[in-house]
Amino acid sequence: MSIKILMVCLGNICRSPLAEGILASKLPKNKFAVDSAGTGSWHIGHSPDVRSIAVAKNNKINISNQKGRQFSKSDFDSYDYIFVMDNSNYENVIELAETQDQKEKVQLILNELFPNENVDVPDPYFGLPNGFEIVYNMLDEVCEVIAKKLIAKHQ
Neighbour count for residue 120 (Cβ, 10 Å): 17
Among 37, 75, 123, 143, binds ligand 4NP (CB under 6 A): 123
Sign, CA torsion 105/74/119/29: positive
* Residue placing its CB nearer to ligand 4NP in the complex, 12 or 66: 12
Amino acid present at 137? N
- Show contacts with ligand 4NP in window 39-68 (CB under 6 A): 42
Stretch that binds ligand 4NP, among 6-14, 24-32, 75-83, 96-104 (CB under 6 A): 6-14
Residue 97 to residue 109: CA distance in whole angstroms: 18
* 8 A C-beta contact, residue 37 and residue 71: yes
Stretch that binds ligand 4NP, among 4-12, 27-35, 69-77, 112-120 (CB under 6 A): 4-12
* Residue placing its CB nearer to ligand 4NP in the complex, 2 or 64: 64
Check binding of 13 to ligand 4NP (CB under 6 A).
yes
Residue 34 to residue 131: CA distance in whole angstroms: 23
* Residue placing its CB nearer to ligand 4NP in the complex, 14 or 142: 14
Residue 152 to residue 52: CA distance in whole angstroms: 29
As measured in angstroms, the least distance from the Cβ of 121 to ligand 4NP is 8
Strand ranges across the sheet with 81-84: 32-38, 3-9, 81-84, 106-108
* Residue placing its CB nearer to ligand 4NP in the complex, 42 or 114: 42
Residues with a catalytic annotation lie at 9, 15, 123
Which residues of this chain interact with ligand 4NP, rule CB under 6 A? 9-15, 38, 42, 123, 125
